[in-house]
């Protein structure tokens, strides 16, 4: 009884409120995550899942058994554990619960940090806002943003705490938090210059030039793992390997002009992902701090960290996006949101002081940033995986279909926000956090709906609604033959849900997909496919698109809709493994919007039987082995039956049907002699 009474005394109303926020957020995010019925962002989700499974099963970070550049360590360990312990299906659901809790726990360090700067009530507001951004939709996906979101908040808090009082313990916590963030996502390496810049700003704000000297333990603590990491990666794979899987980022041909534009765009995006007011509030706090009017050392430390974090993340992400994303890379910026909410709460707790001149300058600068965004370029469906805040704007564009609808909506909203920032009476202070909360919550709901619809579409049409169809029937190791199909993300989906697929083969001359370990095979003239060392493929079970036929028996299959391929088939191959034919450009219903191609191995003495439906075509060329053998001109007949013989003594026959417009077919069948 005494223990229970002690526990009740320790649980303050504020702690209970934070726990309630975390619990409600976890429940809502888990519910939203369960509506996302499968993986969507390809190949990122599949890569992290495979890395995690490999880490727990073999102790190595590998992608479907093949070598992998280093992506991160912490997140694969998090994602892989439930997938290995509970299996793919149950582990996938359990992982979403873990991720919903982890992202929601970001509210705890935000509350504790904000509580140092303002009242309990406003600190709770900061915690609540931390749980509202659309970026938390990533809790339903297998993405590093899940762990990086809280990791950045903890690291920023640790840096500010050390700046406020640079004890040895706090500096040690700073080092640990930065290393944890970098191990969670290599992007976290940007926290090293954040620390250095924050130190310089803090020295300026404190009027203490010797302040950085007191941080030698932290600087040494950061230098040792950084130097060890660099030496290890350089010795293993050269300088480009220091950035692991992001090594291409250091090798791109950046230009100053384009990089600068994208830095500006991403600073404007910070305004969007935090609903305008928080960044403006932090700017006003910083104005007072640099003018020497800030009495709180804790707030001055916060300002140094917040400005450094925003600046470095915006520069890092903007420059990277200018070459590699060419849109808003919002998901790489969401870590700044909790930090800005802390400053927003501190500003609100002081009555949202807004001297007219400086507030007008800040409001106009923020408005100018939003006006600088080329919304027509960024508000497109292809941008959604990287920027969930554009979802409501995409809806506006689709609904109104007016050339300037999106611009009018965003610019009007930003103008109203700027006016409110300058003119809203102090007695209506609650309007600021209310507007932010509503805007973020609406974008979050919209993003959840959009992502769930798109992910569920992928499951239905890439996997025919049968996710683990290979594992259910396979009685041995399975291979997958990727023959250059256009929708390569369907391959990643199949690999994730079917663990019995151990290897992916690709014929010579087919473009390799990034990130996926593939084994190149050579297809001989008699259809046998052999590995680079000349040995035959050992697997006797093979998955391939329905455009391919093999010598063997069909074991199972799925139907894919609205794709060029009609589905996938699991084959039991006769030894030696041989491909019989390969068809490309002919859709499941028989239509051809482009030339239809049929390659047949061991074709000598055979014939191709064709029934064509003219539809919109007026003329069709029939070619065999790059030679035109017949030209058809339609004159109103409903269909045409043809027989095309294989060239004498040919080993491989390439048949080509070249229409001048939409052409249909009902029969395309090769029969050997």
What does pTM read for this prediction? Answer: 0.92
Within 13 Å of residue 302, how many CA atoms lie on the same side as its CB?
A: 35
Q: What is the mean pLDDT of residues 544-557?
A: 95
Owner of token pair 């709770």: 124
Per-residue DSSP letters for 452-521? Answer: HHHHHHHHHHHHTT-TTHHHHH--S-EEEE----S-THHHHHHHHH-TTEEEEEEETTSPPPTT---EEE
Burial class from Cβ neighbours inside 10 Å (0-12, 13-18, 19+) for residue 197 reads: middle
497: left (phi over 0), alpha (psi -120 to 50) or beta: alpha
The fraction of the chain above a pLDDT of 70, given in percent, is 94
CA angle at 132 for the pair 394 and 307, rounded to the nearest 5°: 95
| 351 to 287, 347, 355: CA distances (angstroms) | 16, 7, 12
Give the 3-state secondary structure of 582-646: EEECCCCCCCECCCEEEEEECCCCCEEEEEEECCCCCEEEEEECCEEEEEEECCCCCCEEEEEEC
Strand bridging mode 640-645 / 607-613: antiparallel
Residues 366-412 pLDDT 10s: 999 999 999 999 999 999 999 999 999 999 988 876 778 999 999 99
Cα dihedral 100/101/104/105 (nearest 10): -150
Beta-bridged to residue 574, according to DSSP, are none
Distance CA 595, CA 668 (A): 14
Looking at the predicted structure, is the pLDDT value of residue 100 above 50? yes
Residues 604/654, Cβ–Cβ less than 8 Å: no
Instruction: Say if residue 514's pLDDT is above 70.
Output: no
Distances (CA, A) of 417 to 57, 272, 604: 52, 11, 75
CA separation for the pair 34, 16 (Å, rounded): 27
* Radius of gyration of the CA atoms of the chain, in A: 30
Q: What 3-state class would DSSP assign to 189?
A: helix
Closest CA to 360 of 419, 413, 279: 419
**Residue-wise pLDDT tens digits, 35-44:** 999 999 989 9
d(CA 418, CA 424): 10
Please report where in the chains the tokens 């420059």 appear, as a residue. 319
Q: H-type helices in 332-430, by residue range?
A: 336-349, 356-371, 375-378, 391-400, 405-423
Write the DSSP assignment of 199-253 as a string of letters.
HHHHHHHTT-TTGGGGGHHHHHHHHHHHHHHHHHHHHHH-GGGGGGGGHHHHHS-
Q: Predicted confidence band at 295 (pLDDT cuts at 50, 70, 90)? A: very high
> ∠168-74-447 over CA atoms, to 5°?
115
Residue with tokens 């409001």: 363
pLDDT score of 322:
95
566 vs 464: CA distance, rounded Å:
10
Beta bridge partners of 505: 481, 519
Q: What is the pLDDT of residue 545?
A: 93
- Report the pLDDT averaged over residues 422-436: 96
**Residues 308, 313, 315: CA angle, nearest 5 degrees:** 100
Report whether 448 contacts 384 (CB < 8 A): no
Gap between the Cα atoms of 295 and 117, Å rounded? 11
Look up residue 103 and give its two tokens: 């992202």
Query: Tokens 């954040």 label which residue?
Result: 194
Over range 217-240, report the average pLDDT.
Answer: 78
How far is the C-alpha of 565 from the C-alpha of 567, rounded, in Å?
6
Structure tokens at 629: 């053998």
Q: With 80 as the cut, is the pLDDT of residue 523 above it?
A: yes
**Residue 566 pLDDT level (bands cut at 50, 70, 90):** confident
Angle at 403 between CA 401 and CA 409, to 5 degrees: 85
Q: Residue 147: pLDDT above 60? A: yes
Expressed in percent and rounded to 5, the helix, strand and coil fractions of the chain are: 60, 15, 25
Query: pLDDT per residue over 447-489, tens digit each?
Result: 999 999 999 998 888 888 889 999 999 999 999 999 888 888 8
Q: Are 122 and 155 in contact (CB under 8 A)?
A: no
Phi, psi of 503 (to 5 degrees): -150, 150
Element (H, E) at 436: helix 431-463
């Amino acid at each position: 009884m005494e223990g229970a009474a002690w526990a009740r005394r320790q649980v303050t109303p504020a702690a209970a409120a934070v726990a309630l926020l975390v619990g409600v957020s976890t429940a809502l995010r888990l519910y939203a995550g369960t509506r996302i019925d499968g993986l969507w962002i390809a190949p990122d989700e599949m890569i992290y899942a495979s890395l995690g499974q490999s880490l727990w099963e073999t102790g190595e970070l590998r992608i479907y058994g093949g070598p992998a550049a280093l992506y991160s360590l912490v997140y694969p360990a998090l994602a892989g554990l439930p997938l290995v312990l509970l299996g793919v299906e149950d582990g996938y659901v359990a992982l979403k619960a873990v991720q919903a809790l982890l992202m929601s726990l970001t509210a705890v360090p935000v509350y504790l940090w904000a509580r140092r700067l303002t009242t309990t009530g406003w600190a709770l507001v900061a915690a609540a806002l931390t749980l509202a951004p659309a970026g938390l939709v990533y809790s339903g996906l297998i993405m590093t943003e899940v762990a990086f979101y809280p990791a950045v908040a903890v690291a920023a808090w640790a840096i500010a705490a050390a700046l406020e009082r640079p004890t040895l313990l706090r500096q040690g916590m700073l080092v640990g938090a930065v290393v944890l963030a970098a191990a969670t996502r290599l992007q976290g390496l940007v926290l090293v210059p954040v620390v250095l810049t924050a130190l310089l700003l803090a020295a300026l704000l404190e009027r203490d030039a010797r302040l950085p000297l007191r941080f030698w333990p932290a600087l040494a603590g950061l230098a040792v793992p950084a130097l060890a990491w660099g030496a290890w990666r350089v010795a293993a794979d050269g300088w480009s390997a220091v950035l692991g899987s992001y090594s291409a980022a250091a090798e791109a041909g950046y230009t100053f002009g384009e990089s600068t534009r994208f830095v500006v765009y991403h600073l404007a995006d910070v305004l969007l992902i935090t609903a305008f007011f928080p960044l403006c509030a932090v700017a006003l706090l910083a104005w007072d701090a640099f003018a020497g009017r800030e009495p709180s050392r804790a707030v001055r430390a916060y300002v140094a960290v917040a400005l450094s974090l925003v600046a470095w993340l915006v520069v890092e992400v903007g420059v990277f996006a200018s070459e590699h994303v060419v849109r808003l890379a919002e998901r790489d910026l969401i870590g700044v949101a909790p930090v800005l909410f802390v400053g927003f709460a501190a500003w609100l707790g002081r009555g949202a002081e807004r001297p007219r001149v400086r507030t007008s300058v800040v409001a106009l600068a923020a408005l100018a940033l939003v006006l600088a965004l080329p919304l027509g370029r960024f508000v497109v469906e292809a941008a959604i995986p990287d920027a969930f805040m554009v979802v409501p704007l995409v809806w506006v564009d689709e609904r109104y279909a007016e050339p300037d609808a999106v611009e009018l909506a965003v610019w009007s909203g930003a103008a109203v926000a700027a006016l409110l920032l300058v003119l809203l009476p102090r007695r209506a202070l609650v309007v600021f956090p209310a507007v932010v909360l509503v805007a973020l919550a609406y974008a979050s709901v919209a993003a959840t709906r959009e992502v769930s619809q798109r992910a569920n579409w992928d499951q239905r049409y890439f996997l025919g609604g049968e996710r683990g169809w290979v594992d259910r029937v396979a009685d041995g190791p399975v291979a997958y033959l990727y023959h250059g199909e256009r929708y390569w993300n369907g391959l990643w989906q199949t690999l994730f849900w079917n663990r019995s697929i151990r290897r992916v083969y690709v014929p010579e001359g087919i473009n390799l997909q990034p990130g996926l370990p593939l084994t190149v095979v050579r297809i001989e003239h008699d259809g046998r496919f052999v590995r680079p060392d000349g040995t035959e493929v050992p697997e006797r079970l093979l998955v391939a698109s329905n455009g391919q036929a093999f010598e063997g028996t069909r074991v199972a299959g799925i139907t894919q809709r609205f794709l060029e391929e009609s589905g996938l088939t699991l084959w039991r191959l006769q030894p030696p493994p041989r491909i019989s034919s390969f068809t490309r450009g002919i859709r499941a219903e028989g239509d051809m919007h482009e030339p239809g191609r049929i390659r047949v191995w061991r074709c000598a003495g055979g014939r191709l039987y064709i029934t064509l439906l003219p539809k919109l075509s007026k003329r069709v060329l029939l070619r065999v082995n790059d030679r035109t053998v017949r030209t058809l001109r339609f004159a109103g007949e409903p269909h045409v039956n043809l027989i095309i013989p294989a060239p004498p003594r040919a080993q491989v026959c390439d048949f080509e049907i070249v229409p001048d417009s939409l052409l249909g077919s009902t029969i395309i069948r090769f029969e050997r002699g």
